[in-house]
Amino acid sequence: MIFARKVWHFLVAIKDGLVLIFMLLFFLALYGVLTARPSAGTLKDGALLLKLNGTVVEEPAVQDPLEGLFSGSSQPKEYRARDLVRAINLAAEDESIKAVVLDLSQFTGGGLVTMQELGAALDKVRAAKKPVLTYAMAYTDDSVMLAAHASEVWVHPLGGAFVTGPGGNRLYYAALLQRYKVNIHVYKVGTYKDYVEPYLRDSASEPSKEARGALLSAVWEEWQADVAKARPKANIKLISTDPAGWLAASKGDAAQAALSAGLVDKLGDEVAFGERVKGIAGADNLSDAPGAYAHNRPEALLAAHSEDDSGEAVAVVTIAGSIVDGKAGPGTAGGARIAKLIDKANTDDAKALVLRVDSPGGSVYASEQIRLATERFKAKGRPVVVSMANVAASGGYWVSTPANRIFAQPGTITGSIGIFAVIPSFERTLADYGVKSDGVKTTALSGQPDVLGGISPEAEKMIQANIENNYGKFLNVVAKSRGKTSEQVDAIAQGRVWDGGTARQNGLVDQFGGLDDALAFAAKSAKLDEWHAEYYGTDANPYASILDRLTGDDDDEQGEPAATDFAGLVAVQQQARLTAALGELHWLGQVRGAQVYCLDCPVPLRVKAKPNSAGWIGNLVSTLSLR
């Protein structure tokens, strides 16, 4: 009885402890709810502070509240590009905003077109005679481009600014897969459809290098032109052609080298920078810390200026991230979810539809779901307009085909009209361990495709025939959309990726312009005198502010900072590269149908690696490496 009583007391103690923990979490969450959302009228005279501790994207991914709560950390922070652009534009007009300040110390980028849109908004602030100041420990390509649009660029004396340009090496896994005797069955159409090459070759093919070289050259020229226009004194040629000599001329002092090349204007730490901003925006009355200045977060400025909802609605649906089957997203374009949003806009009798596309493609089936939903909207005689952001290639172009007009930017990556499927099989791997397959078949297709016993020649031919048929359908929907023949489309298709400027020349894009241009065109086509943009499926995450506080990830809080010097940024990039490499093996092992996906199209890293998520190939490599 004494033992049972002690056990009972122990269990009660555990119960009381759990109750106490959950009560504490509840009150912390309640505090977060009460303090999370800024309300109109809370603006104070000072600066607009954009502390970008993460990536700028078209559509932030939904954060898992349980993962963030119990892991003690949040998923990579993402900022909606449209919100940032609007906040900066408002800063140019709002009298309480004295300056715009960008803290880019932990900024991880966001794509060429997005940087151009943010830069154009910063130019409006400067045109309104308000200063724009940026600070970072180290600037890299995207942050260099943003800083070029600032009136004053600061860098830490131990930091610097570095320009690497687009491109670089990627991993090829053919020898690895052969080592473990994994057969890779590829079914594709398109000379330039190189997404499958890393699984088949040890190096890039000549057509792949040709297309990639042309694309990256165009993107690089666009980047240089933007920076040169915004900051003529920046010596990009010196930095990009002789980086070692450039740094050596300053005796290895990267901050001084950046200053000499015109990339930055001032050297100073966070306190010195803060004191400079304080002289413009005023002191922060809530803090006596050195360098504390009065500032507003973007959320407060947006809340103080509600968007106009008068007139008829022009629906806007965002297609961002990989296009996948099902209801995935936001941040990933689940075909069923996107189609449902378009159908909702159709039911709501929106007068026009604008698709904002920022996707490298994905599932053929999901892409077709989205296309058909758009056709249903268009069937009622209402205009459909596509606005391409950083990338709208492969499946991203498939979903764009119903548009009456396609807008893009010169730096947009598009095209990649091709199709493929990949199936790994493991018969040789298993045979190496003494495992063989046998059985009875009633037809030539019984049990096919068999990824363990081997894929039969009949199944191989049928899959390839289906891929070729789907490629023909892709050509047909593009031909119908662009007023061309299938043969004409095939000549510019074959899986080749194009920059926006070349895509306009070959007829895949109609006009240069951003989202505002697409909205104006859609409203004009619908003959609307008074209208507003109605964004579908972009509600803010109600858990975000709570989790930011619980995990210490609030932008205004000074938690333990990540490494932000050049070595730290390189480490972050290499970690992302390693994660991407593991993701490629993970991708190969997933169950997928035919794909319209682009190899050279960048997508932001959104998902943290989870245990046991390496897929068939990754798990196989992990197991066999114990040999």
State the catalytic residues: 193, 394
Length of the chain as a residue count: 627
Alpha-carbon gap, residue 111 to 393, rounded angstroms: 14
First-to-last CA distance in the chain? 53
User: Cβ atoms within 10 A of the Cβ of 428, count?
Assistant: 13
Nearest-5° angle of CA 274, CA 563, CA 259? 55
Asked if residues 446 and 202 have their Cβ atoms less than 8 Å apart, the reply is no
Q: Chain centroid to CA 154: how far?
A: 27
Alpha-carbon gap, residue 227 to 232, rounded angstroms: 7
Alpha-carbon gap, residue 221 to 219, rounded angstroms: 5
Q: Where are the beta strands (DSSP E) in 430-530?
A: 497-499, 511-512
- Would you call 296 helix, strand, or coil by DSSP? strand
Question: Hey, what are 483's tokens?
Answer: 């007023």
**DSSP letter, residue 489:** H
**DSSP letter, residue 109:** B
Calculate the alpha carbon distances from 525 to 14, 406, 450, 460 in Å: 66, 13, 52, 47
Query: What is the Cβ-side half-sphere exposure of residue 398, based on CA atoms within 13 angstroms?
Result: 35
Q: What is the CA radius of gyration of the chain?
A: 27
